[in-house]
Structure 1
């Protein structure tokens, strides 16, 4: 599928076409993610696009309108395809561009493909309409659908010697922070789809057990209190997960800083106006996302984390 010429991977036309397809999917359907990965060198950007395109396929099955039994069958078929990728049974002549790209990426980088099995497990939780009583319960789901993606990405980014175990823990925690931010942003949309992700004991604590089916909070609830409580939890996760940045090379760190920075700014907006998430989808304008990306590339976030660690040691 690819050969090495003077130390650089020379990709065949079918593999290049497969990566181009995955990059198009990423650019069209994951603009926050795309802002981050555009900071990577070409080989890592291609691999991250293949990872995203496969993950998008899994998510689309879970979010679609098919009956649950059909969704489950399709998810298990996708798991079988992943098994073929893992076994090296996909070549450049395969008709599935996502499989071709992912297979090539797995040859070029030590991607822990089991993380995609975890993603499928998490989406199956959605198909089975699972609910979550406690934060510990919700963490299981978040680790499947987001923490696993952080760990998969780390296989592409790479880390220095002796740091891999800590790095995987930080990547997992950062994934939880991103997913909790997503959950807060999408509470109204999820309620419309019959899904509730926030822990039941948190909802009860703030009088929000009735759910979020209108542009105003449930009568008699402390919706702002609920949002601020979850924002504090997400901020603590971000603080821990950001310790990953100094362990990465400059451009990989910039990628992570850009993606995480966009979500942290979303969290800021949600904190300032909690009810905004009930009125519509909270998002950042493109110019602000671009600023966050430039800040990540300049290393400002990485240097900030390094200074904080130095102060803690002092």
Structure 2
């Protein structure tokens, strides 16, 4: 039985992940809810306006106590620590995740793609590794799991450009903005340099597609009963990328996200073809 608090955190956090996850077998579904609730809670602290820095620090302290065996009473933390123990997560993965979340408090931009990839490892690739452990996948699947995590995160960066600007963040390498003749990614700058902005976004979408293809090349490691929700989430991110690619300026007009009907229809289709 999924804890009601974890259910609420997950449902309010991500429509695509939530409705895709419903197609996992019950035991796996519970574990994914525990994982997502932990990472979503940490992310919410650093994405709040204003940022909840003290609350995030207290969250990290509670996690450290839970890892030492203390029951904290924080269901997102206690459930995650139990999951991490049962599924043998490398503790360094969680440390990398929390370090990247801390960067969202202290770092507003990245100069090179290498600099950004350090952040991406902690914010998204380790989540892919944790998912691989939840599904008991072979270590050979880990490269694909990491690529899927960062590919999906990268689409979020593109989709959420205006929201991240409000938080004082630009996740794309500064040297690439310069290469495309963009001073910044504000709506004013993007519309003033519409062609440059469109070329810049499509370049970033190309990077996403490269990582996505590398991820999907590893789908053969995933048993059929687990592949349906993963392929569905992957398909929804592809749809998001295609939608933005047709008109990059759409990110300033609305948040490009698939409807619940599209997600459920996609899962149904994948059930038939997988």
The TM-score, its normalising length taken from structure 1, stands at: 0.80
- Is 1:109 aligned to residue 87 of structure 2? yes
- Is 1:274 aligned to residue 274 of structure 2? no
Equivalence for 2:18:
34
SS at match of 2:270: helix
Equivalence for 1:309:
none
User: In structure 2, how many angstroms separate the alpha carbons of the residues matched to 1:139 and 1:295?
Assistant: 34
Query: What's the CA shift for 1:225?
Result: 0.6
Measured against aligned partners, the alpha-carbon deviations of 1:74-120 in whole angstroms (never above 9, x if no partner) come to 43432232233333333xxx532223322332344333343222121
- Is 1:203 aligned to residue 180 of structure 2? no
- Is 1:63 aligned to residue 47 of structure 2? yes
Aligned residues: 274
The TM-score, its normalising length taken from structure 2, stands at: 0.91
Equivalence for 2:265:
291
Equivalence for 2:8:
24
Equivalence for 1:10:
none
Identify the match of residue 155 of structure 2 among 168, 181, 184: 181
Query: What's the CA shift for 1:297?
Result: 3.0
**Which is bigger in relative contact order (C-alpha 8 A, separation at least 6)?**
2
User: In structure 2, how many angstroms separate the alpha carbons of the residues matched to 1:126 and 1:104?
Assistant: 26
SS at match of 1:55: helix
Cα contact 1:135–1:199 (8 A) shared by 2: yes
User: In structure 2, how many angstroms separate the alpha carbons of the residues matched to 1:292 and 1:220?
Assistant: 33
- Is 1:75 aligned to residue 53 of structure 2? no
Q: Which runs of 5+ in 1 are unaligned?
A: 1-15, 301-314
Equivalence map 1:117-266=2 (5 Å): 117-159=95-137, 163-164=138-139, 166-214=140-188, 216-219=190-193, 222-266=196-240
Say which one has the larger Rg. 1
- The CA RMSD measured in Å over matched residues stands at 2.1
User: In structure 2, how many angstroms separate the alpha carbons of the residues matched to 1:299 and 1:168?
Assistant: 24
Measured against aligned partners, the alpha-carbon deviations of 1:249-294 in whole angstroms (never above 9, x if no partner) come to 1122222111111111100101111110122211222221112222
Cα contact 2:202–2:245 (8 A) shared by 1: yes
Equivalence for 1:51:
35
Distance 1:298 1:97, change over 3 A: same
Q: Which runs of 5+ in 2 are unaligned?
A: none
Cα contact 1:138–1:198 (8 A) shared by 2: yes
Cα contact 1:86–1:103 (8 A) shared by 2: yes
Cα contact 1:191–1:213 (8 A) shared by 2: no
Measured against aligned partners, the alpha-carbon deviations of 1:14-36 in whole angstroms (never above 9, x if no partner) come to xx57x332122212221111122
